[in-house]
Amino acid sequence: MNDAADGVTIIVFSGDMDKAMAAFNIAIGAAALGKEASMFFTFWGIKAIQKGNLTGDSFFGRMMGLLNRGGIERIGPSRFNFWGMGRWMFKQMLKMHEITPLTELRQTAMDLGVKLLPCQMSMEVMEIKKENLIDGVQPACGVATMLEMAYRSKASFFI
Amino acid sequence: MNDAADGVTIIVFSGDMDKAMAAFNIAIGAAALGKEASMFFTFWGIKAIQKGNLTGDSFFGRMMGLLNRGGIERIGPSRFNFWGMGRWMFKQMLKMHEITPLTELRQTAMDLGVKLLPCQMSMEVMEIKKENLIDGVQPACGVATMLEMAYRSKASFFI
Amino acid sequence: MNDAADGVTIIVFSGDMDKAMAAFNIAIGAAALGKEASMFFTFWGIKAIQKGNLTGDSFFGRMMGLLNRGGIERIGPSRFNFWGMGRWMFKQMLKMHEITPLTELRQTAMDLGVKLLPCQMSMEVMEIKKENLIDGVQPACGVATMLEMAYRSKASFFI
């Protein structure tokens, strides 16, 4: 069983590939040490736990879905994006140095018992449904639940 | 009275609308649970507690004021800004889903006793005067005061 | 001796000048109050402790090194960069208001005993060698070491 007292709570706000990598690495690091680790995916960060299909029903929802299309495989780094070139280059360097790709990092996190919490409000605003999220995530929740996790944790980060 | 031991301290560094929303939502969540919540507005984040009038005396101050003009109503999201289009679209979606706008979030935070602390150094560098800030904020303070808050808190975030 | 129990741990992920300033200011504030302060430089943040020479051996490494060239003196702010203009303007304003420049902030931090920890994985991916880093930094380490610091700290930030 994980040790809650020394846990880590991470708010994943960013939709950037490099920041998502950092977030998963921190969570995995904590879980590997036997600590509780929770990740709360909100705003653009929710992309990291989407399946990658187009989302949205309304005009705005579909536009947002189009801009935000693609799951964890399609997100670029926060710097030097160059219309996708940065993502490619960044991925090549990660590959060359045998750094675990984002999808595997996410799987490792889940295997180690890291809790992935989707933000209810973000799902509503961006018109993302439960079935648009990958399997194995926790039920959608709000700030209160996230804060409860943070209060139980020893360290909390907003990424 | 608020419970300091389980409080939250948020450094609001970003001048982005979506990040300010996230920051206020976390603070409100903590305050609603009866915990102490403090927000320290520094660098671009100070815009979220400005009245919105033009600021600055020197050439640089006025240029910065011009670029940074407008209060909480004028700030755009961190992604998909498209020369203001992103802000409009984002606002439409928030409206459609009846999400509380930023000005109301800020008022709610203040009503719930969230402490809004302006960063002294940022005000000096950006030439923002006390009268350029909204009513009800705490006296301007430095990193030491912010850290004291953070030490009393259970969770701290840099947004 | 620094007091670990009330310390601060800062993950410096960003390569932006203003965010690096905020990070050093928080660490200095904690150290000045006699608390332990650790900064973990990862991803783009590692630039803040580089000497500034070109790095990288492979094609990708050299490209990344070229884009990321220059140490702490070459990094621009996160907003209003305008092809370097923002950095210049920002620096002018800081100078006018006698705000300590980034290189001095870093030196002050080191003088006060702030620990600067380079992220091992980031150095490998970006092909940055030990000799590309400034003197006085701690040995490169991983997430586990950073988390240990965070667990000993009272407040932790991801910047």
Q: Which residues of chain C have pLDDT under 50?
A: 1
At residue A1, the pLDDT reads 42
CB-CB neighbors (< 8 A) of C157 in chain B? 11, 156-158
Q: Comparing C-alpha atoms, which of B89, C19, C157, B19 is closest to residue A44?
A: B19
Cα C87–Cα C77–Cα B48 angle in degrees, nearest 5:
125
Residue B45 and residue B27 in contact, taking contact as beta carbons nearer than 8 Å: no
Q: What is the 3-state secondary structure (H, E, C) of A76-93?
A: CCCCCCCCCHHHHHHHHH
Contact between A158 and C158 using a beta-carbon 8 Å cutoff: yes
CA distance C82 to A149: 40
- Give the residue with greater pLDDT, B93 vs B142: B142
At residue B31, the pLDDT reads 96
Residue of A nearest to C159 (CA): A159
Residue of C nearest to A78 (CA): C14
Mean pLDDT of B123-143: 94
- Give the residue with greater pLDDT, A100 vs B103: B103
Contact between A18 and C43 using a beta-carbon 8 Å cutoff: yes
The complex scores an ipTM of 0.84
Contact between C61 and A93 using a beta-carbon 8 Å cutoff: yes
Taking only the tens place, the pLDDT of each residue in B3-40 is: 556 799 999 999 888 899 999 999 999 999 999 999 99
Contact between C143 and A80 using a beta-carbon 8 Å cutoff: no
CA distance B63 to B79: 24
At residue C125, the pLDDT reads 85
| Whether this model's pTM surpasses 0.90 | no
- CATH number of this structure's domain B3-72+100-158: 3.40.1260.10
Residue A2 neighbours by CB under 8 Å, 6+ apart: A31, A34, A35, A36, A37, A113
Residue of B nearest to C158 (CA): B158
- Give the residue with greater pLDDT, B64 vs A117: A117
Give me the phi and psi of A6, to 5 degrees please: -110, 20
| Cross-strand pairs, C3 | C35
Q: Comparing C-alpha atoms, which of C129, C135, C136 is closest to residue C55?
A: C129
Q: Kindly state the tokens that stand for C20.
A: 């690096």
Taking only the tens place, the pLDDT of each residue in A4-18 is: 567 999 999 998 888
Q: Is pLDDT at A49 greater than 60 in this prediction?
A: yes
At residue C1, the pLDDT reads 42
Contact between B147 and C29 using a beta-carbon 8 Å cutoff: yes
C6: distance to nearest CA of chain B, Å? 7
CA distance A106 to A10: 14
Residue of A nearest to C56 (CA): A93
B59: distance to nearest CA of chain A, Å? 30
CB-CB neighbors (< 8 A) of A147 in chain B? 8, 26, 29-30, 33, 35, 155
Per DSSP, B83 falls in state T
Contact between B157 and C157 using a beta-carbon 8 Å cutoff: yes
Query: What 3-state class would DSSP assign to A96?
Result: helix
At residue C45, the pLDDT reads 93
